[in-house]
Amino acid sequence: MNQHELLHLLENDARLTPMDLADILNEDVDDIKQEIKQLEQDQIICGYHTVINYNKAMRDEKVLGLYRSQLYPTRNRGYDKQRLVSQLSRSRYNVFIKW
């Protein structure tokens, strides 16, 4: 059995059933189940993860983000906070500024 191909398939779609994997790899279903069990015991497969698109799932929720701006301190005045506020106000997101 090609262990690397099995791992590659599971990495790309962890929802594949042992039957699906057996069909793709032309192997016996019981062999696939045994191999997956062994890979889990050897901690080669360390878990199955879900990737969530939070942009779709939390459209109306608040999301913390980081805004990077090129502000430079000016002599005797420090940073031009007004310029930063002006830049952020053009954003399509609600912005909370804490100094």
The confidence score (pLDDT) of residue 92 equals 62
Residue 66, domain member (yes or no): yes
Q: What is the pLDDT of residues 34-73, one digit of tens each?
A: 999 999 999 999 988 877 777 777 766 665 566 666 667 7
Domain ranges, residue 80: 54-89
- For 26-57, give one letter per residue: b (16+ CB within 10 A) or e: ebeeeebeebbeebeeeeebeeeeeeeeeeee
Evaluate whether residue 8 is within a structural domain: yes
Quick check: is 48 in a domain?
no
Question: Three-state DSSP class for 32?
Answer: helix
Q: Is residue 81 part of a domain?
A: yes
pTM for the model = 0.55
Number of other residues whose CB lies within 10 A of the CB of residue 80: 13
The tens digit of pLDDT for each residue in 4-40 reads 999 999 999 999 999 999 999 999 999 999 999 999 9
- Dmax over CA atoms of the chain, in Å, equals 76
The answer as to whether 16 is a domain residue is yes
Residue 69 lies inside a defined structural domain of this protein: yes
Gyration radius of the chain's alpha carbons: 25
Same domain, 80 and 59: yes
